[in-house]
Amino acid sequence: MKKYLTHPVFLIIADEASRLNLDAYVIGGFVRDSILGRDCKDIDIVAVGSVKGDKSVGIMLAEAVAKKMSKENLFLKTDVTVFKNFGTAQLKLPDCEVEFVGARRESYSRDSRKPIVEDGSLKDDQDRRDFTINALAISLAKNSYGQLLDPFEGLLDLERKILRTPLNPDITYSDDPLRMMRAIRFATQLNFTIEKISFDSIAKNKERITIVSKERIIDELNKIIATAIPSVGFKLLFDSGLLQIIFPELCLLYGVDVIKGHAHKDNFYHTLQVLDNTCKRSDNIWLRWAAILHDIAKPATKRYEEGHGWTFHGHEDRGARMVPKIFANLKLPLDAKMKYVQKLVQLHLRPIVLAGELVTDSAIRRLLFDAGDSIDDLMLLCESDITSKQEDRVKRYLKNFELVRQKLKEIEEKDNIRNWQPPLTGEDIMHAFNITPTIQVGNIKTIIREAILDGIIPNERAAAWELMIVEGKKIGLAIAKGFEVPNPIKLAVKDLQE
């Protein structure tokens, strides 16, 4: 295992541990990922032994290593962050982070996942690990440098691609229920199988997840969503019963109703397919959340109409209204990211409708106006939403989407509608007619906006000014004396002037 200890920090840790009469081991994710050939920038070091004073062995070793590095000027900057209450220290290097902790044993109370911690041996530390593949350790001791310590056959589990707990899974998951989420996350990230006994234990202990903070849960869920094929994790969450507890709104999409031989598709599995399709096109986590939520209101809007079949009228509007509450419940950010997801949910049917009919310039302008800078992501989402098993239908829609994309490009280059700003402000209108803020100002602004979007006038200040005058005269407003008016131009508004 010496081949994995290529970073110069390992030899320095070994030297300082020996000087302090400590044993040190690399443990956990770094060992696992090194064996799997995956890149890992986080290195966990466990120190075993005793030192004088009130500092833990982990902190003492971290400070000694940092001092040695600074003295020998091995790195330009070596920062040590000490977490005294937890007995840990973190060393930030230019290319990685090294965390030091003393070996410990843990015990838990029933109503908390925060353990009671005591000093322990390496065996105690490996016993408390969540999975056998995370209990692998490599010695940094002088007489056994590079030796693998594998008490639970974690190396074999890596080869078999199996996730197992070192000890009884009921105890492991009940003690720290977040480990159930981590099991599913690792299975999704690594394409591993959760051992049947272990998975059954997750289903048995699923209610224990309620003692875990929503912040920690959503962190694991986002890591699942960030994987290449997140549907794997969502199916495991659903089959174990965890998803019904942490994200019940999504589970309501599950199932198929049949009336008079008419069935709708299972919108739960459709959503997961849309999510996977989106992941092939983008790494944007919030676009992936839009994929998850795009049909979230279908259960609430589902109706059977005689002679027509199943409908979900208005599910995009209702879904958009549901987004803020779902984000709040899941402890997701209630900022521009939420607004972005809400917008995509609201608009996700628009390009699909355009792709199925003759695309007009006016419809394209309105889509650009409503979507703004999110238009490209909206198109990606809509392409991902085509999950039909009929290949001809999929090809037809995707071909039509290309037409929509081309029209979007042409209209944007010509009319500059994306993130549109009105050519006339409310202040312009009030100044022109010498009036105070009133509903009439808003009405004129709306008329100008609609005329631009419908292509009646170009998106230019002079054209907007002339239309403003026309509309102002119609409602009895007079131009303020001495105010400079742009030179009129010929416009397609003769019908409005008559």
What is the distance between the alpha carbons of residues 199 and 163, in angstroms, rounded to a whole number? 9
pLDDT of res. 245:
98
Provide the pLDDT for residue 498.
41
- Residues 315, 387 within the same domain: yes
pLDDT for residue 225? 98
Residues 138 and 11 in one domain: yes
Q: Give the whole-angstrom CA distance, residue 430 versus residue 422.
A: 15
Question: Which burial class, exposed, middle or buried, applies to 430 when counting CB atoms under 10 A from its CB (0-12, 13-18, 19+)?
Answer: middle
CA distance between the termini of the chain: 88
Task: Decide if 289 is inside a domain.
Answer: yes
Give the pLDDT score at 261: 80
> Do 82 and 21 lie in a common domain?
yes
Look at residue 421 and tell me if it is in a domain.
no
Residues 400 and 437 in one domain: no
**Cβ neighbours, 10 Å, residue 487:** 7
| Residues 15 and 140 placed together within one structural domain of the fold | yes
Domain assignment present for 85: yes
CATH number at residue 50: 3.30.460.10
H or E segment to which residue 56 belongs: none
Same-domain pairing of 94 and 182: no
In a domain, 11, yes or no: yes
Q: How many CB atoms lie under 10 A from the CB of residue 163?
A: 23
Q: Where among 395, 415, 435 does a domain terminate?
A: 415
The last residue of a domain, from among 112, 135, 160: 160
pLDDT less than 70: residues of the chain:
51-53, 73-78, 106-118, 356-358, 419, 480-498
390 lies in the same domain as 241: no
**C-beta of residue 91 within 8 angstroms of C-beta of residue 100:** yes
> Does residue 182 form part of some domain?
yes
What CATH number should be reported for the domain holding residue 303?
1.10.3210
Do both 401 and 365 map to the same domain? Answer: yes
pLDDT the model gives residue 496: 39
pLDDT in the model for residue 393: 77
* The predicted structure's pLDDT at residue 482: 46
Judged on CB neighbours under 10 Å (0-12, 13-18, 19+), 170 is: middle
Q: Which domain holds residue 433?
A: 426-497
Q: How many residues does this entry show for the chain?
A: 498
- CATH of residue 198's domain is 1.10.110.30
Token pair, residue 498, equals 């008559």
* 111 and 175, same domain (yes or no): no
Query: Final residue of a domain: which of 194, 213, 246?
Result: 246
Asked whether residue 383 falls in the same domain as residue 283, the answer is yes
C-alpha 167/C-alpha 197 separation (Å) is 12
Quick one: 156 and 173 in the same domain? Answer: no
Shared domain check, 231 and 134: no
Q: Which residues pair with 96 in a beta bridge?
A: 93
Structural domain includes residue 420: no
What CA–CA distance (Å, rounded) separates 106 from 100?
17
Contact 371/340 with Cβ under 8 angstroms? no
Residue 316 lies in a domain: yes
- Name the domain count of the chain: 4
Q: Is residue 385 part of a domain?
A: yes
